Amino acid sequence: MPLSPPIAPMLAKLERELPRGEGWVYEPKWDGFRAIVFLTGGSVELQSRDRRPFNRYFPELLPALSSAFPPDAVVDGEIVVAGSEGLDFDLLQMRLHPAESRVRMLAERTPASFVAFDVLAVGDRSLMEVEFAERRRELEGMLAGRDGEGVPGPGSTQVLLTPQTGDPEEAEGWFDAFAPLGLDGVVAKKLSMTYRPGDRVMVKVKRVKTADCVVGAYRPSRADEGIGSLLLGLYDDEGVLHFVGHTSSFSTDERKRLRKELAKYEREADSFGEGRTPGGPSRWARAEQAVWTPLRPELVCEVRYDKLQGDRFRHAATFIRWRDDKRPEECTFDQLM
């Protein structure tokens, strides 16, 4: 094989609108785990977005991928789990469990599928420097008859080719047609682009404003033994973590549970020590609001926000989910729009 793991996946930058014009094509952005599949002589190795091995979490995918692709190939795509009403990220997240018995039980009850959208190598040929238009033709040849219409169905493992269109109006229609089923946005790609690991050369558009943030601290609750809010941070270009806002959208039981779970991440040093901190002077802040417990910057969560004030959230963000598949250093300001 001309390529071997790990390979940093090619990334997308967030824009407000889909780019239009000659040479652009559009694909759904699926709500799952990014994965690069390495097939070598019949063996299969799954690599996560942050270049960790994924095989143990998705045992049902290995034979399906082996039968769908040539014995020697490298394919880029998304691992998803379908629930009764579309893709279910919570079910997918449950797979990142340390107990093998638990993983295998979930693999039987809620099997994962793989949606392919790029190919990096076939046989002894690297396609990294080949234009995307040709890479797509190679992928279509591999997955003839597996064109993805809608989303994978629940109850079985499927390997599908992601839909693609050159019509921006059709792509705009996906936001409404596919969103309830698990569409996370739309990705735009240039047909002429080569595969550039780690570079944000694709474009992604979301209708809902979300950001993946580092949990740098928490404020204790004034009413009980739980947390009051999670304090969120993003990294700048120099690798400095800055406070950008908070989220407090938790039930009473969740607040108490989180307080116990976060205890093992507590630290003496301030995670926001070199950047903007949550305790800046404000005539509106009460004394108890200046109290927070620093955490090691290892946890990542996705939040929804409405407006920005400069480069921070104007209002409290809404907690969506934990992102165990994201590295903290990937949580940067270029997500904000």
The residues annotated as belonging to the active site are 29
Determine the Cα–Cα distance for residues 246 and 189; give it in Å rounded to an integer. 34
Residue 73 DSSP SS3: strand
End-to-end CA distance of the chain: 40
Q: Determine the Cα–Cα distance for residues 265 and 47; give it in Å rounded to an integer.
A: 27
Helix, strand, or coil (residue 208)? coil
DSSP E strand boundaries for the chain:
11-15, 24-30, 33-40, 43-48, 73-83, 86-87, 112-122, 125-126, 159-161, 183-190, 200-205, 210-220, 227-235, 241-247, 293-294, 300-304, 308-309, 312-313, 318-322
Nearest to 143, CA basis, from 164, 124, 127: 164
Cα dist. 209→41, 203, 212, 307, 324 in Å?
43, 15, 11, 9, 20
Residues 323 and 90: their CA atoms lie apart, in Å, by 10
Cα→Cα distances 311→89, 216, 243, Å: 28, 17, 10
CA–CA gap between residue 41 and residue 183 (Å, rounded): 34
E-strand spans in 139-255? 159-161, 183-190, 200-205, 210-220, 227-235, 241-247
